[in-house]
Amino acid sequence: MKGSRHFRVSALLSACVLSLIATAGWSQSLTWLGVLPDGMYSYASGVSADGAVVVGSVLTVLAEWRAFRWTASGGMQDLGDLGGGGSWASGVSADGSVVVGRAYNAAGQFRAFRWTALGGMQDLGTLGGSWSYAYDVSADGSVVVGWAWNAAGQVRAFRWTASGGMRDLGTLGGNGSLARGVSADGAVVVGWAENDAGFSRAFRWTASDGMEELGTLPGGGLSAASGVSADGSVVVGEAQNAAGQFRAFRWTASGGMQDLGTLGGDESAALGVSADGAVVVGVALNAAGQKRAFRWTASGGGMEDLNTTYASLLTNGSQLGRANAISPDGRYIVGEGRNAATGRNEAFLLDTSCTAHNGDVVRNGCVDDADLLQVLSAFGQTGINLGRVDVNCDWVVDDADLLIVLFNFGSGC
């Protein structure tokens, strides 16, 4: 009788766990964005907060680049140029209404631009030279950062506003600098700059403190920042290690520069970060030396190959080669990959939502104390980007996640 009751309890527990896993992760999707009518290749470089707007660039059959803005309802829109026949989109505001990048003018010089539906493409000028390039824009679209030539022909990081125009952010003691990312409120700018020793180093700039060098990995020489969290406290990019290999990094004031590893190869680069700094995306080499899109989470066991995690969405041998940006909440990832259905490289939009699993939080093939500790440490946390500690993908770490870990405890060990 006791054995029968134990069987019934175990069966009920099994049914509950299977139900929790089966009903999660339902909204994951991969959308290939295609190309413009005369396009051959495309890549995505920015995504709005709700994933409804994606921006990037398309290479046409005439070998001309065109900036695009994509929506699910309207498809891919050519944003035009500044009279010179070519353009590239690099970033987009949180609501998708402002796009920034570079475009050729009639004189054949590429200039930083800011595009809106009502105003079209606006030339943001330079710092006295001929060329400029906008890389990123604040959440509300009012602050644009990038680089521009000054009158002496030096490349300098800039911060642009409608009221103040283009401001030279200086260097770390050398001659050149370049801004790649800006915080949500536009107050913190990151990128790379030459120091007085002639090394290009990642920097973090604020109006009050100026340009701060973030250093590099132990024994390395070069570094460059490419993204920053909403409040400016977390910076990501790439830096050399002692072997001279470039590695994706995540920097905080308290922890310094952390090497995020690779996918089995030698090198990696972090290209985007979520608003809270907990999720990082980019590109890394795998053991075969192939470039693959990655996602790294502080709570989810480190760096993962998006091709492995979302294999069920990749039909007929399609591949995700590079993750260029991520939405503030960590849900949407955009980049470029190989679309096997069309036989070309295309921009993609990946709606990750969540990936339900059996409780192997740290992804070592064994559900054990390490996984249990991770869930207990995060118990009570809520949000969409909790990583693998949200075992059943319901946006909260609670009894349901703990139940799955305990039911599968010892599995694979």
Q: What is the pLDDT of residue 168?
A: 98
At 363 the pLDDT is 81
Which CATH code for domain 27-367? 2.120.10.30
The per-residue pLDDT for 351 is 93
Report the C-alpha gap between 59 and 78 in whole angstroms: 11
Position 20 pLDDT exceeds 50 = no
Token pair belonging to 252: 């905080």
The pLDDT of residue 300 = 65
CB burial readout 254-272, b (16+ within 10 A) else e: eeebbbbebbebebbbbbb
Instruction: Give the count of alpha carbons within 13 A of 247, CB side only.
Output: 27
Say how far apart CA 109 and CA 316 lie, in whole Å.
Answer: 42
Residue 26 pLDDT > 60: no
**Residue 395: predicted pLDDT:** 76
Say which amino acid occupies 256: G
Q: Which two tokens stand for residue 8?
A: 């019934």
Token pair, residue 222, equals 């070069």
Q: Where are the alpha helices (DSSP H) in 339-384?
A: 369-377
Residue that the structure tokens 């907990």 belong to: 278
Which of the 8 DSSP states describes residue 12? H
Contacts of 197 (CB under 8 A, 6+ apart): 173, 174
- DSSP string across 48-66: -TTSSEEEEEEEETTS-EE
Is residue 298 classed as helix, strand or coil in its secondary structure?
Answer: coil
- pLDDT of 78 above 90: yes
Question: What percentage of the chain has pLDDT greater than the value 70?
Answer: 92
pLDDT in tens, 138-149: 999 999 999 999
The pLDDT, as a whole number, for residue 59 is 98
Whether residue 36 is predicted with pLDDT greater than 60 in this model: the reply is yes
Q: Please classify residue 287 by burial: count the beta carbons closer than 10 Å to its beta carbon, then call 0-12 exposed, 13-18 middle and 19+ buried.
A: exposed
pLDDT(333) > 80 = yes
Provide the residue count of the chain: 413
Q: Can you tell me the mean pLDDT for 50-78? A: 96
Cβ atoms within 10 A of the Cβ of 348, count?
A: 31
Which whole-number Å values give the CA distances from 88 to 97, 103, 104, 132, 210, in the listed order?
16, 6, 9, 12, 29
Rounded CA gap, 334 and 30, in Å?
Answer: 10
**Which three-class secondary structure state does DSSP give residue 399?**
helix
Give the three-class secondary structure for 233: coil
Distances in Å between the Cα of 8 and the Cα atoms of 2, 12, 21, 37 are 10, 6, 20, 61
Radius of gyration for the alpha carbons in the chain, expressed in angstroms and rounded: 23
Distances (CA, A) of 338 to 42, 101, 106, 291: 10, 24, 34, 11
The three state secondary structure string of 166-197 is EEECCCEEEEEEEEEEECCCCCCEEEEEEECC
- Confidence at residue 11, expressed as pLDDT on a 0 to 100 scale: 43
Q: Is the dihedral of CA 385, 359, 302, 355 positive or negative?
A: negative
> 380-409 pLDDT, tens per residue?
988 666 778 889 888 789 999 999 999 999
Residues facing 79 on adjacent strands: none
Among 15-24, 150-159, 180-189, 198-207, the range scoring the smallest mean pLDDT is 15-24
358 φ, ψ to 5°?
-90, 5
Rounded mean pLDDT of the chain?
A: 92
Alpha helices in 323-365 (DSSP H): none
Domain(s) labelled CATH 2.120.10.30 in the chain stretch across: 27-367
Contact criterion met (CB below 8 Å) for 96 and 85: no
Whole-number Å distance between alpha carbons of 56 and 359: 37
Per-residue tokens: 6: 């134990």
- At 206-246, the pLDDT tens digits run 999 999 999 999 999 999 999 999 999 999 999 999 999 99
Of 102-106, 218-222, 300-304, 332-336, the one with minimum mean pLDDT is 300-304
Side chain identity, residue 293: A
